[in-house]
Chains A and B, each alone.
Chain A
Amino acid sequence: MSWLGRLLSTRADAASLDTALRETLAHWQSLPPADLARTHHETRYVVLNTEATGLNIDKDRPLAVGAIAIDSGVLAARESLYVRLQPDAPTALADVLAFAGRAPIVVYSASLNRTLIERALAEQLGIAPDWTWIDLYWLLPRLFPERIGRPARLADWMQSFGIETFQRHHAFGDAYAIAQLLLALQARALRRGFATPQSLAELEQRVLRSPAAR
């Protein structure tokens, strides 16, 4: 099943959610889609990062989600969210949905994070958001080849930039590191002519199609 081809859909069990959650979903659905042709400095990106039960994508479920917005190139403390999925996964995920809105979503390693988040949203809220996903795992080596010329671990990029975080391997602690990487990446991308979320997403596709990525 193609992730990109997914459209917004509601499942029958959405009706079983309580009123507050239904309102959150309805509000989310009413939001206009993000304008991906605006520059980074006119865009609100949302970094999402998960903490999972393990590393087996097929079996694992997210335990917590960390989210940090980078709005107009600025990271502000109040624009952040951390939720644990226990005990109330639907409410936690609705909070994530409300926080992210329809902003372009930035992750480090989509194969893990995007899969976990989308699956959880589908299972718990019966929703499949049409977010634009941007994966720093691929974009960082493409835009900073002088630092590390191939996809690398988050720790390597943090070390390369001297980025610190308050807690590693924590959904939110790592989200903070990823958000800082995004700040640096935006500046570099702008200089390389990739000034918009759209151009970043396209660049990522080019990287993914290149022989090196296979």
Chain B
Amino acid sequence: MTPTAPEMLTGASADFLRRFAPFDRMEAPALAFLAEHLQLVFHPSGAEILTPEMGAPTHFYIIQRGKVLARQTGSTSVMEYSTIPLGPGECFPIGAISAQRASTNAYVVVEDSFVYQLAAEDFRRLLEMSPIFHLFCTQYIASLLNQSRRQLQTAFSQRAAEQQTMTTSLGKLIKREPVFVTPEASTREALEKMAEKRVGCMVILDDEHRPLGVLTQSDLLPRIVLPGLDLSQSVVDVMTPGPHTMSVNASAYDAVLEMATHGVRHLMVVDTHGRLKGVVSERDLFSLQRTSLRQIRASIEGAGDIEALQRASRDIRELALNLVAQGVGAEQLTQFISALNDALTRRIIDIELDRHGLHDAQYAWLAFGSEGRHEQTLSTDQDNGLIYVCPDPARKDPLKLQLLAFAKDVNESLAACGFPLCKGNIMASNPELCLTFDEWKRRFAAWISEPDPQALLNASIFFDFRVLSGDERLGESLRTWLNATAKRNATFQRLMAMNALQVAPPLGLIRDFVLDDDGTIDLKKAGARLFVDVARILALRAEVSSSSTVQRLRQAGTKMGMATEELAAMTDGFHFIQLLRLRSQHLDTEHDSAGDNKVRPDQLNELDRRILKEAFRQARKLQLRLKLDYQI
């Protein structure tokens, strides 16, 4: 039978499309659908096919013949290009039509062009119908993600450069209130204060807070110890008078020069009235040179007390900033942070185990929540617990008391190192969370068999456990048991799924984003958690042992037959949200407000906004998957 006219035209369009990616690989029924629904339109040179002002695009366009220029609009260039010429076989817009929002580019015809157009709803049907086309669009979006990440890195390098630069003013380098005595003080008083405050440099100030002299550690031997000085003598007799002073406004570079010129290790930083504001040491200036991962690691492992660990904790934050500047992505970054925080916590645990004489105890220190998932950002509360084994029932209570005391000290040391105590008391020092293996099993089993809202909330925190210190086998057995138990219980899974679907991605139908009342989006509650919650359920179902969201998605997703590319787009989306969280936390530490995970979309640049929207769309896809799986 001869083909009908529509079949011939459709065939002609299909033949044309087959010359270009991704249509050359497209599934036959999808290609047929596309060719059948395409409309051919002519746009003369100079015409605007699509501009941001036109709102959400009504069509997806494929150029048949001619040339169209994609031009960025607005004052700031958010991409690496400002214009891209598009020719036959190329299509636009992908992001805008997927997200149903206005295009950020203007598409202007530069040579008379025949352009195929596909109605927006047919575009969406095609996305559903064709995995190949879907992949093409996701990869395009992923390339945007990459661009955004590079841009983020540039911002961070600038920021890091700013911090590291030798033009930093001395006022900003002062780390603590100056430690000083008045001229009336005895040498003994001065030395005792140095010891107490752990400083290497004591300043002697006059009544108006102007430096009269300094006494440093290196003066001790020649001036005090060897001459056998009477410690009751005035400090003025042993100090170095007329210390080197510099203005708070002088730069780090000036200070280095001053130190090098005069061979001194400390500089008095003074205000315009000559009053002491602080002391800058040679070490402070050298610490402008970055601390390396290895150094931090070594300093953690060699730390003998909390103060050394506190310094290490500060170094971890600085390093994190630096790593982003070096182009490390969110995944590796959180792994680094996690590794260092783990090392720090282990060191604290070791110190406290020693102090509490618990070396023989068979136990495992568990991390829950984001720490359990290896997804700590920089403002994460503590979430921890203990599993212990006690074969002798008579010794159980005393052992538990001992462990609780130990845990309390660990919790407090962690707090001193910048991990705030958990407001909800999810800490190992809570008797409810310091349990034997069987007690944990009973606890988990109760949540699974009677999944009331509180149980589900608990599951979302505790099921992300991981052994941080102690006997790892305890954690492994608990995980194996938990996966097997949860997998059997469909009701529990379903309720977990319903719970996970309670918060929808903050994507609006009319506007780009749905904002909280204060004009922000909570990247934790309405962002990262959407991925985390779905990943947890998939992991339970697929019996994946990892507690990390990305690993869970990858492993469970693969087991459940999700396409690698699809999974990659989802994990990219998750990483992007994590990166934005880290960024807001880093920048926030400057003004001393802890990162609160809030982002104002209107303050993001255009590209970040686009990517964020795509990331939320990935969350929506994950949720959709869950909805379908559990028919919710």
Contacts and interface: CB of A to CB of B under 8 A. Distances in A.
Interface of A: 66-68, 73-78, 80-82, 84, 161-166, 172-173, 176, 180, 183-184, 186-188, 191
Given A77-B13, A176-B8, A187-B47, 8 more contacts: A68-B5, A75-B40, A76-B40, A78-B36, A80-B5, A80-B8, A180-B40, A184-B42
Given A180-B40, A183-B42, A166 B11 contact: yes
A184 B112 contact: yes
A73 B41 contact: yes
B161 interface: no
B317 interface: no
A163 B66 CA distance: 11
B617 interface: no
A165 B47 CA distance: 25
A176 B4 contact: no
Contacts of A78: 6, 36
A172 B41 CA distance: 19
Contacts of A162: 65
B8 A82 contact: yes
Contact of B38 (A73, A77, A80): A77
B79 interface: no
Nearest to A166: B12
Interface string B2-36: 10111011111101100000000000000000011
A163 B4 CA distance: 22
B481 interface: no
Given A183-B114, A184-B112, A188-B44, A75 B8 contact: no
A82 B11 contact: no
Contacts of B44: 184, 187-188, 191
A184 to B, nearest CB: 5
A75 B43 contact: no
B39 interface: yes
Given A183-B42, A187-B44, A191-B44, A82 B114 contact: no
B6 A187 contact: no
A78 B37 CA distance: 9
Interface in B151-205: none
B539 to A, nearest CB: 47
Contact of A186 (B40, B42, B112, B114): B42
Nearest to A181: B42
A144 to B, nearest CB: 10
Contacts of B38: 76-77
Contact of B10 (A77, A81, A164): A77
A75 B39 contact: yes
Given A76-B39, A77-B36, A77-B38, A176 B12 contact: yes
Contacts of A81: 5
A66 B39 contact: no
Nearest to A184: B42
B42 A77 contact: no
Given A68-B5, A183-B42, A187-B42, A77 B35 contact: yes
A160 to B, nearest CB: 10
6 contacts: A73-B41, A74-B41, A75-B39, A77-B10, A184-B44, A187-B44
Contacts, number: 71
A172 B6 CA distance: 10
Interface string B554-565: 000000000000
Contacts of A75: 39-41
Nearest to A83: B5
B57 to A, nearest CB: 16
Nearest to B40: A75
A188 B42 CA distance: 10
A176 B9 contact: yes
B40 A82 contact: no
A161 B43 CA distance: 13
A162 B42 CA distance: 13
A184 B6 CA distance: 21
A187 B11 CA distance: 26
Contacts of B13: 77
Contacts of B15: 166
Nearest to A190: B44
B176 to A, nearest CB: 73
B112 A183 contact: no
A82 B4 contact: yes
Contacts of B8: 80, 82, 166, 172-173, 176
Contact of A80 (B6, B16, B42, B112): B6
A176 B9 CA distance: 8
A68 B40 CA distance: 12
Contacts of B112: 161, 184, 187
List the 7 closest pairs (A to B, CB-CB), nearest first: A183-B42, A80-B5, A82-B5, A77-B9, A75-B40, A187-B44, A166-B12
Contacts of B41: 73-75, 183
Contacts of A173: 8
A96 B598 CA distance: 64
Contacts of A161: 65, 112
Contacts of A186: 42
B65 A77 contact: no
B39 A74 contact: yes
B6 to A, nearest CB: 5
A68 B8 CA distance: 12
Q: Max chain A CB contacts within 10 Å: which of B15, B38, B40, B42?
A: B42
Contacts of B9: 68, 77, 80, 176
Contacts of A77: 6, 9-10, 13, 35-36, 38
B612 to A, nearest CB: 35
Contacts of B6: 77-78, 80
A81 B8 CA distance: 10
A75 to B, nearest CB: 4
Contacts of A176: 8-9, 12
A85 B42 CA distance: 32
Contacts of B43: 187
A76 to B, nearest CB: 5
A172 B5 contact: yes
